[in-house]
Chain A
Amino acid sequence: MPALFPHWTNTLARATLIAVLCTLVGVPVALMAWVRTPNATRQYEPVAQPVAFDHRIHVTGQRIDCRYCHYSAERSSYAGIPPTSVCVPCHSTAWMSSDVLAPVRQSVSSGRPLRWNRVDALPGFVYFNHAIHVNKGVGCESCHGRVDRMAQVYQAAPLTMSWCVNCHRNPAPHLRPLSAITTMGYVSQRELGPQLAQKYHVRSLTTCTTCHR
């Protein structure tokens, strides 16, 4: 009696097994790699805003400290979006009649806040606190990048959990003196990190409840 299947079906069976295994492993691996790419994390993607606010003009040009506008960064879990009343005193003469500032004028007359679009959005299950980072020597630049060079602000860091944990495991190299907390283009000094960690009582916090509640 001749064989029910021809000889090449052996190869087909083996190839099928390998293909199934590759798919079972490869598809999850590819998806896990994908969510870490800037395409998925929206890193480097400028976010359109209602007012064409240019951080370059205000930070590099006018030399205004980050905390002049984001003044709650040092004492609140949120860095804060400045109310329109912070824009107005300077802009009551400078550029106030320009089209760029039309939404600001509207906000002043209506009393309704400007609706800025969120740039660095963390998932709802992450409880990030600005104040503790800023008061312990993590500079604005460390997470937000060179905002002084951004015409339109984009998310500078991947904001993935591995990125957070990387610093949480060994914070010392990422620390800077509190006097340079808002400095852009800070050149970190290798030997200073451990000293600052000791001075500011910075510990490596990697328990789940540090960030997740």
Chain B
Amino acid sequence: MNRACVLVVIIVAAACTKSSEREPGDFERMRIQQRDEPYAASGRLAIDERMRHPPAGTMSRESEADSGAIGSGTSAGQPVTQVPLAVTPELLALGHEKFDVFCAVCHGAGGFGGSIVAANMGAPRPPSLRSAAVQALPPGFVFNIATKGIGRMPPYAPQLTARERWAVVAYLEQLQRSTSTSAEQREDSVRAIGIRGIDSTLAAEQQR
């Protein structure tokens, strides 16, 4: 009888942990799981982030940075003079989309160098992309500006893949060739459709 009691106590005690070892959310152990979330902070490592940086001097296998003209924008040390990808309507559409998100913020949707951000930025202002000087730049040079940044412009390699940056360059070339300077393009705007959305709701609210 006594042995049976001891056995029961041992079995029950095996399920115990010290209260200090229990996480506060222990009642929710499915909800809060023991796995690392991206962007989460970590108390365990010398560095705060759970997402790890690649070791210095290494690059990922997927990186396009050094893979010929498409990755570097240069050929034999000189910036390439043509977009090294097939300029298809799909590529231009992609370039249009990315231009509106990442470039138009400062350079304006039409590339005239005017936007709300640019107006609030102070000198030096972002230049117009429609000027003769910018139009004369070879595509490989423009690609490298998008990759590495220039002056106050930050590098956009983290945001855009090489293909996306080439798409932006191809779209910019198309934009520079276009003679249409509609009010919408001239407008200090980021994204015409989004702005129309915001403006129409603002107008509706003011009417109410």
Interface residues on chain A, number (Cβ under 8 Å) = 36
Across the interface, do B49 and A64 meet the contact criterion of CB distance under 8 Å?
Answer: no
- Interchain CB contact (< 8 A) of A185 among B117, B152, B159, B201: B201
Across the interface, do A78 and B159 meet the contact criterion of CB distance under 8 Å?
Answer: no
| Closest Cβ–Cβ distance, residue A77 to chain B (whole Å) | 8
In Å, the complex CA distance between A186 and B198 comes to 8
Across the interface, do B48 and A89 meet the contact criterion of CB distance under 8 Å?
Answer: no
Collect the chain A residues with CB atoms within 8 Å of residue B200's CB. Answer: 185, 187
A-B contact pairs, 8 of them (CB 8 A): A63-B191, A65-B190, A68-B101, A71-B101, A78-B39, A123-B31, A184-B201, A185-B201
Across the interface, do B31 and A92 meet the contact criterion of CB distance under 8 Å?
Answer: no
Collect the chain B residues with CB atoms within 8 Å of residue A68's CB. Answer: 101-102, 105
Q: Which residues of B contact A (CB under 8 A)?
A: 30-33, 35, 38-39, 41, 48-49, 97, 100-102, 105, 115-117, 120-122, 152-154, 158-159, 189-191, 193-195, 197-198, 200-201
Tell me the chain A residues, 67-84 only, with Cβ under 8 Å from chain B: 67-68, 71, 78, 80-81, 83
Collect the chain A residues with CB atoms within 8 Å of residue B194's CB. Answer: 63, 65, 180, 182-184
- Interchain CB contact (< 8 A) of B154 among A63, A86, A186: A86
Collect the chain B residues with CB atoms within 8 Å of residue A93's CB. Answer: 121-122
Q: A64-B105, A78-B38, A115-B41 are in contact. Are A184 and B197 (CB under 8 A)?
A: yes
Collect the chain A residues with CB atoms within 8 Å of residue B38's CB. Answer: 78
Q: A65-B191, A78-B38 are in contact. Are A186 and B197 (CB under 8 A)?
A: yes
In Å, the complex CA distance between A94 and B121 comes to 6
| Closest Cβ–Cβ distance, residue B147 to chain A (whole Å) | 15
Q: Kindly state whether residue A90 has any CB partner on chain B within 8 Å.
A: yes
Question: From DSSP, what is the main secondary structure of chain A's interface residues?
Answer: loop
**Which residue of chain B is the closest to A112 with respect to CB atoms?**
B48
**Which residue of chain A is the closest to B189 with respect to CB atoms?**
A63
**Which residue of chain B is the closest to A83 with respect to CB atoms?**
B158
Across the interface, do B154 and A65 meet the contact criterion of CB distance under 8 Å?
Answer: no
Across the interface, do A65 and B39 meet the contact criterion of CB distance under 8 Å?
Answer: no
In Å, the complex CA distance between A64 and B152 comes to 18
Across the interface, do B33 and A65 meet the contact criterion of CB distance under 8 Å?
Answer: no
Across the interface, do A85 and B41 meet the contact criterion of CB distance under 8 Å?
Answer: no
Collect the chain A residues with CB atoms within 8 Å of residue B101's CB. Answer: 65, 67-68, 71
Collect the chain B residues with CB atoms within 8 Å of residue A67's CB. Answer: 101
Across the interface, do B116 and A61 meet the contact criterion of CB distance under 8 Å?
Answer: yes
Across the interface, do B193 and A123 meet the contact criterion of CB distance under 8 Å?
Answer: no
Across the interface, do B121 and A63 meet the contact criterion of CB distance under 8 Å?
Answer: no
Collect the chain A residues with CB atoms within 8 Å of residue B191's CB. Answer: 63, 65, 182
In Å, the complex CA distance between A61 and B195 comes to 11
In Å, the complex CA distance between A67 and B152 comes to 20
Give a binary string over A167-201; 1 marks a CB under 8 Å from any B CB, 0 the rest: 00000000000011011111100000000000000
Q: Kindly state whether residue A206 has any CB partner on chain B within 8 Å.
A: no
Collect the chain A residues with CB atoms within 8 Å of residue B154's CB. Answer: 85-86, 88-89
Give a binary string over A138-158; 1 marks a CB under 8 Å from any B CB, 0 the rest: 000000000010000000000
| Closest Cβ–Cβ distance, residue A182 to chain B (whole Å) | 6
- Interchain CB contact (< 8 A) of A92 among B35, B105, B152: B152
Collect the chain A residues with CB atoms within 8 Å of residue B122's CB. Answer: 93-94
| Closest Cβ–Cβ distance, residue B37 to chain A (whole Å) | 8
Q: Kindly state whether residue A103 has any CB partner on chain B within 8 Å.
A: no
- Interchain CB contact (< 8 A) of B117 among A64, A125, A183: A64
Q: A67-B101, A89-B153 are in contact. Are A185 and B198 (CB under 8 A)?
A: yes
Collect the chain B residues with CB atoms within 8 Å of residue A88's CB. Answer: 154
